[in-house]
């Protein structure tokens, strides 16, 4: 599936949630609609209960009804816009061509073996990614319990990862991030640093300089860098850690 098609389908899912919420609120909305008349810069609000019937003026004491009718008007227009967008999505879906990956996978396996595709299947992409980042990794065992637990989290999420890959950071030099991890869905690579002794002044100063090196090299938290940390000997909140890693990897 093309990336733009995937984004469109994600938007379709969000729109379905919007429609459900709107329809629920409209079912509780007051009867009729709001009409606004502006004269000399002053707005006057009227309640049209039945088309063709005389409008009822809404004074300041009826502010709650004004608000409810205004919200109803907005939601009806929003629902109309969502329905039009859904028609556009259905039209595009009918006409959408196969993605480059689908073209490759439609070939006989004998032909696929001779082809270098522009977009790799997940299993091939993951294998090559692991080979690339493992080629100059430290090859050492996990040095702490928290690093082992992070590895276990990544395993549970099905997120390919490599321990202590090599990375050259500007204004810092050679570095060994704790992990490099792949979001398979988006095919985005993240480096992950866990700073475990932030209450130690020397350790903190060293790793603040390292973080500066990440920033100078184009790596930023929330974009392509994951930062987790501990301080004062307190155990890390593993529930929060799991939430952070899921946010990046799924």
Same domain, 241 and 140: yes
pLDDT tens for 135-160 read 999 999 999 889 999 999 999 999 99
| pLDDT value of position 24 | 96
Does a structural domain hold residue 111?
no
Does a structural domain hold residue 121?
no
| pLDDT value of position 107 | 95
Q: Terminus-to-terminus CA distance in the chain, angstroms?
A: 17
Same domain, 166 and 83: no
Quote the mean pLDDT of the chain. 92
Same domain, 140 and 50: no
Does a structural domain hold residue 130?
no
Does a structural domain hold residue 202?
yes
Same domain, 65 and 142: no
% of the chain at pLDDT higher than 90: 78
CATH number of the domain within which 198 lies: 3.40.1350
Does a structural domain hold residue 197?
yes
| pLDDT value of position 5 | 83
- Dihedral (Cα; 115, 118, 120, 126), 10-degree rounding: 120
Number of domains observed in the structure of the chain: 2
Element (H, E) at 33: strand 33-39
Does a structural domain hold residue 61?
yes
Does a structural domain hold residue 129?
no
Does a structural domain hold residue 107?
no
**Phi then psi dihedrals of residue 36, to 5 deg:** -120, 130
Domain boundary among 45, 66, 97: 97
Domain that holds residue 50: 3-97
């Amino acid at each position: 599936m093309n990336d733009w098609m995937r984004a469109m389908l994600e938007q379709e899912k969000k729109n379905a949630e919007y429609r459900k919420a709107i329809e629920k609120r409209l079912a509780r909305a007051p009867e009729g609609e709001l009409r606004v008349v502006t004269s000399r810069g002053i707005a006057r609000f009227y309640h049209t209960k039945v088309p063709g019937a005389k409008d009822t003026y809404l004074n300041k004491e009826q502010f709650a009804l004004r608000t409810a009718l205004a919200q109803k008007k907005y939601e009806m227009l929003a629902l109309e816009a969502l329905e039009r967008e859904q028609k556009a999505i259905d039209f595009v879906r009918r006409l959408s061509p196969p993605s480059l990956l689908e073209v490759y996978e439609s070939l006989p396996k004998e032909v696929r073996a001779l082809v270098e595709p522009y977009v790799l299947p997940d299993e091939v992409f993951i294998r090559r990614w692991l080979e690339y980042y493992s080629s100059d990794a430290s090859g050492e065992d996990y040095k702490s319990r928290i690093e082992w637990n992070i590895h276990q989290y990544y395993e549970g999420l099905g997120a390919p990862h490599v321990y202590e890959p090599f990375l050259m950071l500007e204004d810092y030099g050679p570095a060994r991030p704790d992990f490099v991890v792949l979001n398979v869905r988006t095919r985005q690579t993240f480096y992950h640093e866990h700073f475990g002794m932030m209450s130690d002044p020397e350790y903190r100063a060293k790793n603040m300089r390292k973080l500066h090196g990440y920033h100078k090299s184009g790596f930023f938290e929330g974009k392509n860098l994951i930062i987790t940390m501990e301080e004062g000997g307190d155990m890390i909140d593993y529930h929060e850690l799991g939430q952070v890693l899921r946010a990046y990897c799924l």
